[in-house]
Structure 1
């Protein structure tokens, strides 16, 4: 299965967290202008960002999550499988 990449909102340096929520620690910060792979998605804390308010978090790597509110997936809902 190929993993689709989606652009992060323009001008945003996005915090990558260790789990699906703002209570998880920041593991790194993405630079502006990147696209991220969305491996799976999980419900977490609600975040308001460039693309609205959502509780969906995108898994972009092992132990790496970003809020879907800053990722342009073209949908307000889930665009891939739920994380196990």
Structure 2
């Protein structure tokens, strides 16, 4: 096997291992949640999560303050590359940060 193929296989295995350890969090029941391009209500809606959706949280960052089913918070959860949801709509079991701050 060539060096390139070994590196490629290692990268795929590393990605699979990283995704296998992710925790998914439920969004509030009965809510279709806007996913935005940045941590705030002034950012563009890039998609809408269906009722009953669960999301991974890769990192968290402060942004616009939002009142939701799980309180009022300025914490925004990064759920995909360049995609954020207000933490006040995600059941994390905490009012504070549960993941590292986004850089």
| Structure with the bigger percentage of strand | 1
**Does the alignment pair 1:42 with 2:36?**
no
Report the aligned-residue RMSD.
0.8
Q: What are the equivalent positions in structure 2 for 1:50-65 lying under 5 Å apart?
A: 50-65=69-84
Question: What is the TM-score of this pair, normalised by structure 2?
Answer: 0.80
Q: Please identify runs of 4+ aligned residues in structure 1 that moved more than 3 A.
A: none
| Structure with the bigger percentage of helix | 2
Give ranges in structure 2 of 5+ residues lacking alignment: 1-17
Q: What are the equivalent positions in structure 2 for 1:1-84 lying under 5 Å apart?
A: 2-84=21-103
Aligned length: 84
Question: What is the TM-score of this pair, normalised by structure 1?
Answer: 0.97
